[in-house]
Amino acid sequence: MKTSLFAKKNSAAGGNLFHYVLLLAVSVVMMTPFVWMVSTSLKQPADVFVFPPRLIPSPVRWANYADVLETIPFHLFYGNSVYIALLVTAGTVLFSSMAGYSFARIPFWGRSLVFLLLLSTMMIPNEVIAIPMFLFMRELGWINTHLPLIILPVFGAGGVFGVFVMRQFFLGIPKELEEAAMIDGCSRLRIYSTIMLPLAKPAIATLVIFTFLTSWNDFFDPLIFINDRKLMTLPLALSLFTDESGTSWHLLMSASVMATLPLLIVFFFAQKQFIEGVSMTGLKE
């Protein structure tokens, strides 16, 4: 009996060790591009593609970051990306949480059909509707403005994804909380704002991270709707380091490092709620 228990413990320990080694190997693979980006951002232009590659630059060239600020109006592109991403995130969270609560808690005719039609829009690639969207935005006079970059993600596929996430979370909240609030005279709006939203912090954190990340990294929409250089966002501005003579890799990587920092900050402060949101947002009917 003791031998059997000892064998089971050894087997479990061996299984855990294998999992740790596997996770470590995957982590190394995932971190390699980021490490190479940081390393390249500190190299001399002639050392970028030296063979064998050197992970630690020698000498370290911090001037690359200053050169980025002198080469392009990086602060302007940074500000454009920040305020667009913040507006898209705030709008998506607001409208998606309201719609998600409606689909989860308010009965109305055709609710399931409407929700299914909404989800079906996520299956349409953005490239397929690019031309109709461009023509529509042109008729509205929104070309070469930031309005398409804000309105379309909030009410497009990103917003539908947010509705799905919030609906699934609200379905997991006991109905007894709402019934008790209604007995006390609370309206639907007050239940949504004072009960549902505070309980939905994990789902909101998940939606914030996904939405901010998607808006921050969006390259396709700015490429279509933006012509004025002053209105460019960071992903589009990074292409300015490539021209007919080649790519300034050391400057491109320096700019990429600075562009990545807000994403790391957002995830750092919301990682606990993000993990809770992913684990608690299941497929409920």
pLDDT per position as a tens digit, 87-124: 999 999 999 999 999 898 888 888 889 888 888 888 88
> By C-alpha distance, which of 157, 24, 148, 52 is closest to 96?
157
What pLDDT is stored for residue 283 in this prediction?
43
Q: Which residue has the higher pLDDT, 272 or 62?
A: 62
Domain 64-278: CATH superfamily is: MetI-like (1.10.3720.10)
Domain ranges of the chain: 64-278
125 phi and psi angles, rounded to 5 deg: -60, 145
CA 102 to chain centroid: 24
> By C-alpha distance, which of 43, 136, 9, 146 is closest to 87?
146
Measured between alpha carbons, how far is residue 220 from residues 148, 153, 239 in Å? 12, 12, 12
Which residues make beta-bridge pairs with 246? 243
Q: Dump pLDDT digits (tens) for 119-166.
A: 888 888 888 888 899 999 999 999 999 999 999 999 888 889 999 989
pTM of the shown model: 0.81
What pLDDT is stored for residue 175 in this prediction?
84
Buried b (16+ CB within 10 A) or exposed e, 54-67: eeebeeebeebbeb
Is the alpha carbon torsion for 95, 98, 101, 106 positive or negative?
negative
State yes or no: pLDDT of 272 exceeds 80.
Answer: no
Mean pLDDT of 50-68: 80
Amino acid of residue 81: S
What pLDDT is stored for residue 285 in this prediction?
44
Mean pLDDT of 245-254: 77
